[in-house]
Amino acid sequence: MHKIDYLYNDNNQDGASKQSSRPQWLKVKAPAGENYTKIKSMMRSKSLHTVCEEAHCPNIGECWHSGTATFLILGDTCTRSCGFCAIKTGRPGDYDPLEPLKVAHSVQQMGIRHAVITSVNRDELPDQGSNIWAQTIIKVRELNPHTSIEVLIPDFKGDLDCLQRVLDAGPDILNHNVETVPRLYKLVRPQAKYDRSLKVLEYSKLKGFKTKTGIMVGIGEKFDEIIDVMRDLRNIDIDIMTIGQYLQPTKEHLPVDRYVHPDEFAEYKRIGLEMGFMHVESGPLVRSSYHAEKHI
């Protein structure tokens, strides 16, 4: 199959991806293959969602072909309106109380050795979805005792009771993305706070969990600002960091400021390892769950 600028968007609204200036290193193969088709069919049959599809991830073909996927729980509608994210925003409907068991069965059917679970923000719920989060971890563990579990959680508005509920369920890796530099939060993550995200990560680390976070580049930040964020993360002893290129999912989202060269990504990795991160996954197509099974 020829390499193309695959949009992962049936409406073909991705303005940035169709720019003639998009560099060769950001071109990927369109998803295909037996495993891809099998996983897509299984998700539909169980009414499950994946962030791979909802966020238009460029690695969906590679990951699904290898039999891995990132499960998106608590529905497909988020209560927040981040300027970079393709997941739809609105008033979520009722969540499926059987979702934890469905996810656990899917992990079992796929033979996944490292399960990644994330969710939309459910700020309207009294527990912000943390009970479903805990139940999902527990059910996946019950049916898949040899599978490691990574959770990519929201900030729960800084509610440590909600966070503790997730930690009590015993994930192997606690992941929460800071996403961008502090200066850009009002533009990129208007309903989030940089310090609050650091607090979520620091609390989890102090409770003894392996911690992970990720950031996008090419959305308006400066090199030195990225380095400052990396220092902030090492100051609270974060273990794993992912750094990837921001890609505009639709023309309604924030534009790409620049396409970062692979050499710059290599420099971030070098600096991060020197700072003491256990692992730094840094590259144009890197996303939070990319090669997650290797981070454990």
What structural domains does the chain harbor? 16-295 (3.20.20.70)
Task: Decide: 233 and 167 in contact? Cβ < 8 Å.
Answer: no
Give the residue with greater pLDDT, 107 vs 30.
107
Among 65-74, 131-140, 227-236, 249-258, name the one with the lowest average pLDDT.
65-74
pLDDT at 87: 84
**In sequence order, which residues have a C-beta less than 8 Å from that of residue 292 and are 6 or more positions away?**
68, 70, 114, 116, 150, 173
Q: What is the mean pLDDT of the chain?
A: 84
pLDDT single digits (tens) 125-170: 999 999 999 999 999 999 999 999 999 999 999 999 999 999 999 9
Report pTM. 0.82
Task: Decide: 117 and 70 in contact? Cβ < 8 Å.
Answer: yes
pLDDT at 178: 97
pLDDT at 21: 73
Task: Decide: 259 and 21 in contact? Cβ < 8 Å.
Answer: yes
Q: What is the dihedral of CA 152, 187, 230, 247, to 10 degrees?
A: 70
As to burial, measured by CB atoms within 10 angstroms (0-12 exposed, 13-18 middle, 19+ buried), residue 146 is exposed
As to burial, measured by CB atoms within 10 angstroms (0-12 exposed, 13-18 middle, 19+ buried), residue 131 is middle
Average pLDDT over residues 248-261: 92
pLDDT single digits (tens) 34-90: 555 665 565 555 555 554 454 455 555 555 455 566 888 999 899 999 988 888 899
Average pLDDT over residues 164-181: 97
Q: Which amino acid is at 168?
A: D
Half-sphere exposure of 91 (CA within 13 A, CB side): 0
Please give the Cα distance from 75 to 279 (Å, whole number): 31
